[in-house]
Amino acid sequence: MKTVSEVNAHGGVQGVYSHASECCACDMTFAVFVPPQAGKRPCPVVWYLSGLTCTHANVMEKGEYRRLATELGLIIVCPDTSPRGDIPDVEDNWQLGKGAGFYVDATQAPWSANYRMYSYITDELPALIGEHFPVDMGRQAIFGHSMGGHGALTIALKNPARFKSCSAFAPIVHPMGADWAIGAFRSYLGEDENFWREHDACALIEDGARFPEFLVDQGSADGFLDEGLRPWLFEEACKDTGIGLTLRMQEGYDHSYYFISSFMEDHLRWHAARIG
């Protein structure tokens, strides 16, 4: 692991790091905020997954999480959204390739050699974080935005014993039926939609996956609301399953980091209360 940068912030350290990823067969960059409490004891870790076209830097620069992370004693890990470097890509399509990893393990060539973001987020990066940072891996939470919200929901549903809590900002809850996700799913996972279901939050719940509860915030002025997000489908999927869902429609908010930063404190307090 290489240190790209480290700066002091709110009594803690905001760092950016890189390493050679075996899963993605390229160098990967990620950000970690370590609060001052970590100098005395291991701290809980909260994973934040970013959305389409983003890197680790978007939430690090615009998410406004550090003050409260220091107050609550939380380590915040912000991975990249996809592999980078000299790898397959489609330059004129922001919904496929670099910046659009969709947190799946691609099975189709040429994507399968690098686009293995599910394994990277669930296996390789946690091992690296556990080795190099003072984290309490028995207390983990996960959240994300848009494509990253999709990643957080599906990863939590598939790993309920690992994560104490999960939340999302404007998640893509049913990518199998969303125009801006279908192309990536077909390219990465093939034509058989039965294989898509394990990376679709609504389908996972229909197929029996369970998680205790979710917090979802969605802006009513989000331009992607009707086209690709459709949180009411997730609400319907959770109904009569025993899954608790707090779905909050935030009047007048859009899809941007102005929206995310406005409710970041609510989400971090949600996770801190459940991590312990």
Q: Is 174 a catalytic residue?
A: no
DSSP character for 175?
G
Give the strand pairing for 244-250 and 26-34. unpaired
CA 249 from chain center: how many Å?
Answer: 20
Q: Which of 150, 174, 222, 271 is catalytic?
A: 222
Q: Which of 56, 145, 174, 255 is catalytic?
A: 255
Copy the structure tokens of residue 45: 């870790």
Q: Is 146 a catalytic residue?
A: yes
Report the alpha-carbon distance of residue 209 to residue 192 in Å, rounded: 20
Q: Which of 146, 165, 167, 187 is catalytic?
A: 146
Q: Where are the beta strands (DSSP E) in 170-236?
A: 213-219
Cα dihedral sign, 205-44-169-31: negative
Report the alpha-carbon distance of residue 251 to residue 116 in Å, rounded: 36
Helix (H, G, I), strand (E, B), or coil: what is residue 253? coil
Burial of 256 (0-12, 13-18, 19+ CB in 10 A): middle
In contact, 195 and 112? CB cutoff 8 Å: no
Q: Is 123 a catalytic residue?
A: no
> Which residues have a catalytic role annotated?
146, 222, 255
